[in-house]
Each structure stands twice: as C-alpha cells, then as structure tokens.
A and B are shown apart, each in its own frame.
Chain A
Amino acid sequence: MLSLSKETIKVLKEQDVVLLRNRVKEVAVKIKMGLVNQTRLITAASELLRNMLRYANGGNCIVEIVSSGRNNGVRLTFIDKGPGIPDIALAMKDGYSTGKSLGLGLPGTKRLVNEFDIKSKVGEGTTVTIIKWANG
C-alpha cells in the first residue's frame, strides 16, 4: 500500500473534532469518494475522536491518502497516550461501554469502514487505524 499524502492533526478539544471532520471530508472529496462513503468515513472518524477525547484527553490523528492497485482510499490513524484498553475483544462487543455511552463506538465504527485495526497497551495508549476505499 502506497501513502500519497500524509498530515498529522492534533485533537485536544471538542472543537477540533469539527476541524478534523472537515479535513477528512476534503481529502475524501479529493479522491472522489461517494457521498455515502464520505458520510460513513466521517462518522467513523467522529466516533473514534470522541473516544480519544473522552478516555485519553485527546491525541493525534494522521490523515493519509493511500493507494493499493487501482484503489484509492483514506487511512486515518488515531494515536493516544491514554489508559489503554485491557480487553479489546470486550470493547469490540456491541453494547459494551465502561463510560456512559451506548457502547456502539468501536463495533459500529468497524461496520462503517473497510479496514479496522486496533492496538492497545494498558498504561501506554491506544492506536486505531481505519481505511475507507473510495469505492469500497
């Protein structure tokens, strides 16, 4: 997979979420992603950003345009130095939440994107990577 462009955006407060959503939208439009996929991607980003702000007080988001064969896509990497997730399998279950949310964030996000990867170490932080292909 080839990375065609890459930028890092800091997310430390709620208003940054709107900023990042707009940036993701711009990038998605650039690779001619359809409106429904754009909406899926931005919603997924919004869920992950919210997690990052709530559980880790913010972090960084890397926004990339990636290419694999004839496919172009947007890859977003969310990196935080929060408390980490002790049981990822549990966190990925629908309806499970340690906060007071609905527990849809992680499993819901996974359904909205084409590729979803989560790595977490307790006490060190969490990294979530998602990819949405333009025509995926």
Chain B
Amino acid sequence: MERIPILKMGPFLLVTIQVDLYDRLALDLEQDLVKMVQKTSAKGVLIDISAVSIVDSFMGRIFGNIASMCKLLESETVVVGMQPAIAITLVELGLPLNGVYTALNVERGMALLKSIIKPANDPAQDGPPASYQR
C-alpha cells in the first residue's frame, strides 16, 4: 500500500508530499503523523506541499485536522511551499486554512517552527513573531 514517508529531523518531523493525494492516502498520513508525534515526542511538524498541484476542501480539512491533533500532543504544524494557484483556489473555495501556520518554503518553515518552539524554554519571549498569522 502506498504511504507518505515521515522523516525525523531533530525535534521535528518532516513530511514531503510528492504525489497527488487521494482521500485514503491523506487519512493514512493524518494517522501516521499523529502516532509518530507521540512516539518521537516531536515538537513540530513541517509539511512540504510544493509538489502538490491540487488541494481541495477535503485535503484542506486534513491539514487543519493534523494541526489541531498535533497541537493536542504539544506539537506545532507548519505547511510550507504552497503553490500560488492553490492559495487562490483555497480562498475562493472558502477554506483559508485558518489555524494552520504557513511559510513560503522549507527553510522559512523551519525558522518559524524554531521560533514557535523556543519560547517554551525561554520565558522572555512569548509566542511566534507577530508577522505570522495563526
């Protein structure tokens, strides 16, 4: 059965989606990812969708679910690399992915994750930079 690989990178999990998602695959990813967060006590999850050409309401909801589920397990989720056409389509569809952190690319996504995670160890800072909308 086809599965999307989840890589561990320090305190983070990295998922690069290279295939067109269908429902079963997306649901499996959701489950695998949440289990993996628990198993590895990952502090953050980075999902790279730069190779994904379509995100419909179902997949959008999966991303939202993943973010909420991981949040419950003390982990933050960042979706990175969204194609402009997908951003346009999602907003017109009525699914602006509120509640999911996004970043332009993997590099910036990593930086964002680090900035979100850090405040836990460093009480002087609180929360992610204001420029990122949650």
Which chain A residues have a beta carbon within 8 Å of chain B's beta carbons?
Answer: 14-15, 17-18, 21-22, 25, 35-36, 38-40, 42-43, 46-47, 50, 94, 101-102, 104-105, 107-109, 111-112
Is there contact, CB below 8 Å, between A38 and B85? yes
Q: Which of A35, A36, A38 has the most CB of B within 10 A?
A: A36
- How distant is the Cα of A82 from the Cα of B95 in the complex, in angstroms? 27
Q: Which of B20, B23, B83, B89 has the most CB of A within 10 A?
A: B89
Chain B residues within 8 Å of A25, by CB: 53
Chain B residues within 8 Å of A18, by CB: 20, 22
Which 7 A-B pairs have CB atoms at the shortest separation, nearest pair first? A39-B85, A108-B93, A46-B56, A36-B85, A104-B57, A43-B89, A104-B94
Q: How big is the B interface, by class?
A: 20 to 34
Closest chain-B Cβ to A15's Cβ sits at a distance in Å of 6
Is there contact, CB below 8 Å, between A35 and B54? no
Chain A residues within 8 Å of B92, by CB: 40, 108, 111-112
Is there contact, CB below 8 Å, between A112 and B22? no
Chain A residues within 8 Å of B88, by CB: 36, 39-40
Closest chain-B Cβ to A129's Cβ sits at a distance in Å of 19
Is there contact, CB below 8 Å, between A47 and B56? yes
Interface Cβ pair total, 8 Å cutoff: 70
Known: A21-B54, A43-B54. A104 touches B93 (CB 8 A): yes
Partner of A40, one of B53, B58, B89: B89
Shortest Cβ distance from A35 into B: residue = B85
Is there contact, CB below 8 Å, between B94 and A43? no
Known: A50-B56, A104-B95. A14 touches B85 (CB 8 A): no
Chain A residues within 8 Å of B112, by CB: none
Is there contact, CB below 8 Å, between A111 and B94? yes
Partner of B23, one of A40, A50, A94, A102: A50
- How distant is the Cα of A10 from the Cα of B102 in the complex, in angstroms? 36
Is there contact, CB below 8 Å, between B22 and A108? no
Closest chain-B Cβ to A32's Cβ sits at a distance in Å of 16
Shortest Cβ distance from B88 into A: residue = A36
Chain B residues within 8 Å of A35, by CB: 85
Chain A residues within 8 Å of B24, by CB: 14
Is there contact, CB below 8 Å, between B53 and A112? no
Q: Which of A25, A35, A101, A108 has the most CB of B within 10 A?
A: A108
> Does B86 interact with chain A (Cβ within 8 Å)?
yes
